[in-house]
Copies of this chain bind each other. A is one copy, B any other.
Amino acid sequence: MGRKKAYDRDELLVGAVEVFREHGFARTTTQMLVDRLGVNRFSLYAEFENKLGLYDAALEAYDESIVGRRFGPLERPGAGLAEVRELLEFYGAAADGPAAGKGCLLCNTAVEFGPDDPIGTGRVDRYLDRLEEAFSAALTNAQQAGDLPASVNVAREASFLTASVLGLFVMIRARAPDARLKNAAAAALAHLEGLG
């Protein structure tokens, strides 16, 4: 059947996500990818077609793994205010975490590419919808559990939390000081808890 692949596709994507988060799409060269992933150009192109194909695959992997890890808890049936709190506290403390200087790959993509979407897979749009919907579901659950008054406008607060998280992502990417992140997250949380 021929020779075995010397690389693992998923491991390649983990590395690609890292490099693209650090340098963005345009400023990442194929040479950087070859070096950091320890794979050959040929294999990279055989597996992902071209640089944009690799980027799109990286976005998909990022959405599944990283976004899934952070927002998945909010999307589960029993989720409520506790999950929102944990999320905000996590990003509020991200100045020292692995995302420092990197931010969120999908948020970065939204800004670098703008509304043009040259990839054409609509991943950014679906990502924004996903965040909003995750917050919306958790807040609705909280209402039904009696942790949030029925009078609260869930759609409004979900959009608000989405914007807050995006703002934190920009700050994390820009290596804003720890206190600034902590403060911003704490105030957003205080707002939510002040609704009760």
Q: Is the CB of A170 within 8 A of B173?
A: no
Q: Is the CB of A132 within 8 A of B180?
A: yes
Interface size in chain A (residues, C-beta < 8 A) = 53
Chain A contacts with B in 72-128, Cβ cutoff 8 A: 101-103, 107-108, 110-115, 124-125, 128
Bound Cα distance A18, B194 (Å): 40
Q: Is the CB of B128 within 8 A of A176?
A: yes
- A58 interface hit (Cβ, 8 Å): no
Given contacts A114-B22, A163-B164, A184-B162, contact A174 B103 (CB under 8 A): no
Given contacts A24-B112, A111-B103, contact A159 B179 (CB under 8 A): yes
> Which B residues lie within 8 Å of A23 (CB)?
114
- A156 interface hit (Cβ, 8 Å): yes
Bound Cα distance A79, B185 (Å): 25
Q: Is the CB of B174 within 8 A of A110?
A: yes
- A160 interface hit (Cβ, 8 Å): yes
Least CB separation from A107: chain B residue: B170
Contact of A167 among B101, B125, B163 (CB under 8 A): B163
Between A and B, 20 residue pairs with Cβ closer than 8 Å are A26-B26, A111-B170, A115-B174, A125-B174, A128-B176, A153-B183, A158-B183, A159-B181, A159-B183, A159-B184, A160-B164, A160-B183, A160-B188, A163-B168, A163-B170, A165-B167, A166-B170, A166-B171, A167-B168, A170-B170
Query: Which residues does A use to contact B, with CB under 8 Å?
Result: 22-24, 26-27, 101-103, 107-108, 110-115, 124-125, 128, 132, 153, 155-160, 162-171, 173-176, 179-181, 183-188, 190-191, 194
